[in-house]
Structure 1
Amino acid sequence: MELKKQYIVNEDNQKVAVQLDIATFEKIENVLENYALVQLMNEDKSEAMTVEDAKKYYASLDKA
């Protein structure tokens, strides 16, 4: 991914911030969110339901 960035500098011409276009920012944000979700899923030590158990549970829900 090409990062189109612009630097913001102070009066001493030192870089103090980076400005990204919104499309690039949204791509980075999406990657970070997906990474965090995968990390949470990998840390989850609870038991996974079988497909059959999930179907039984879904069938037992009140369908208002």
Structure 2
Amino acid sequence: MLEIHKNIVLDENQQPIAVLIPIAEFEKIEEIIEDYGLAKLMEESENKERLSKPEALKYYQSLKQHHVES
């Protein structure tokens, strides 16, 4: 399980309003979510048109590139 080192930000009334985590841990969480989303998409499209492995890799890279540019 991914260990997350978090710092809780409190407001003037000592109520939690935000959480700070190291960027490396945030990036790992993003990667896990993207992988999960890709797996779900693949599962949902099981009966639909299939891509060859090279086509799938090219498509996945384009998605990652688009995410980086946004």
With normalisation by structure 2, the TM-score equals 0.64
Matching of residues 1-64 of structure 1 within 5 Å: 1-44=2-45, 45-48=47-50
Give the alignment's Cα RMSD to 1 decimal.
1.7
Aligned length in residues: 50
Q: As a proportion of its length, which structure holds more strand?
A: 1
- Which structure exhibits the higher relative contact order, with contacts defined as CA atoms closer than 8 Å and separated by 6 or more residues? 1
**Post-superposition offset of 1:30:** 0.3
**Post-superposition offset of 1:48:** 3.7
SS at match of 1:36: helix
Change (3 A) 1:41 1:14: same
In structure 2, what residue type is equivalent to 1:2?
A: E
For structure 2, which runs of at least 5 residues remain unmatched after alignment? 53-70
Larger Rg: 1
Identity percentage of aligned residues = 40
**Post-superposition offset of 1:25:** 0.2
**Post-superposition offset of 1:7:** 0.7
1: CA distance between counterparts of 2:3 and 2:11?
25
